[in-house]
Structure 1
Amino acid sequence: MRTSDSLISAAPLWRRAGAGIVAALASILVLGTVAAVWPNPFFIRMVPTKGYEIPLLLTQSSLFGVYVMVRRPACGLRRMGFASAINFLGVACPICNKVLLLIFGATALMTYFEPVRLYVGILGTGLGVLAIVTQLWRRSAHDIIGDAAQAATR
């Protein structure tokens, strides 16, 4: 009987890479459209972009694709999901985010949050890197433990 952890090693690299590429492209498309980083008929951006939103979005989406490629199916997406949410706050228009607008108000957002949006996006990217490193460390530790268990049963 195969466990879900052994399925990742059974899946070919091209399939994992393909899933990662599809996830990254979907992330770019969905988050970029919702954040109105480019003109689209669905969302209008109230605060103009500053030039760093698209590179942050591309970086975070690429990290998400890598995470999808390396993660074990039994593991959740909590770390990467949190990192993506923080990055999205750095990329998205602060006035267009209704939750932030209701909590802080437009004046507070433009005065205090707008100047640090870049750093919030960088923090989200850093958390994404941490999620990938943690996943790789857990995966290699799992492989080492699995190899040791197989050697012990021989």
Structure 2
Amino acid sequence: MFVDALRDACRGLLLWDRRRIGVAAAAAAGSAVVIGLATVLIPNALFSRDIPPMWWDYPVWILTALLLGMLIASYVRDPNSASEEGVRGPETALEEEASGPDSASGEGARGPETASEGRSGVLGGVGGMLGWFAVGCPVCNKIALLALGYTGALTYFAPLQPLLAAASVILLLAAVIIRLKGQYSCPLASRERSARS
């Protein structure tokens, strides 16, 4: 099952055009800058870090930014599908309304896609926040500092950061796979998908 999902996700990635690739690169760069500046993985005068970064902070930071960029770009709408929807006449819209939510072209067909978007959005949001906490300074994190104190943050929160990093990458990867798989194996017809199959 995982292998099939990964295969469909790779096929979905191959359907990306230059616009989506550009959005992915820009979103990944923006995520890297925001996370890097706030966690002082990029040295700056705005923020400070009491505990130096660990060796694994940098690969996790870059991987998190890349996965966030891919996830954000997966929400970019294909201009061909938007123009195909705009071409529908009023008769088609009336037929879709009359056929009800159980028809193949109505709202019912979009239900799984909407559920997939919600699931991947939650996974991506949680994964992004965990990645932020994973690469940040353990004693600069105000939540950990208030809950555990300085010594408690070093004793209890710092050893959990590698686990947070692993959970972050896994959640973001799952969100990206769900989105890309849906772009390839979506039940709605697409001119681009049928041309490349």
Is 1:70–2:74 an aligned residue pair?
yes
The CA RMSD measured in Å over matched residues stands at 2.0
Structure 1 counterpart of 2:177, from 100, 114, 133: 133
1:36 aligns with 2:40: yes
Mapping of residues 3-152 of structure 1, within 5 Å: 13-71=17-75, 75=117, 77-142=121-186, 145-147=187-189
Which ranges of structure 1 fall in alignment gaps of 5 or more residues? Answer: 1-11, 148-154
Confirm or deny: 8 A CA contact 2:134 2:161 kept in the other structure.
yes
TM-score, length of structure 1 as denominator length: 0.79
**Correspondence for 2:100:** none
Sequence identity of aligned pairs in percent? 26
Deviation at 1:125, TM superposition (A): 0.7
Residue 72 of structure 1: how far off its partner (Å):
5.5
Measure the CA separation in 2 of the matches of 1:25 and 1:59.
11
Give me the whole-angstrom Cα distance separating, in 1, the residues matched to 2:23 and 2:42. 25
- Structure 2, unpaired ranges of 5+: 1-15, 78-113, 190-197
For residues 60 and 74 of structure 2, the distance between their equivalents in structure 1, rounded to whole angstroms, comes to 21
Select the structure with the greater relative contact order (CA < 8 A; seq sep ≥ 6).
2
Tell me the SS of whatever aligns to 2:156: helix
Relative to structure 2, which stretch is displaced further, 39-48 or 116-125?
116-125
Q: Distance in 2 between matches of 1:18 and 1:137?
A: 20
Query: What is the number of equivalent residue pairs in this alignment?
Result: 135
Aligned residue type for 2:132: F
Give the letter aligned to residue 48 of structure 2.
I
Rounded Cα–Cα distance in structure 2 between residues aligned with 1:39 and 1:133: 33
Taking the aligned partners of 2:32 and 2:59, their CA distance within structure 1 comes to 11
Pair member with larger Rg: 2
Match of 1:7 in 2: none
Amino acid paired to 1:71: Y
- Give the superposition deviation at 1:123: 1.2
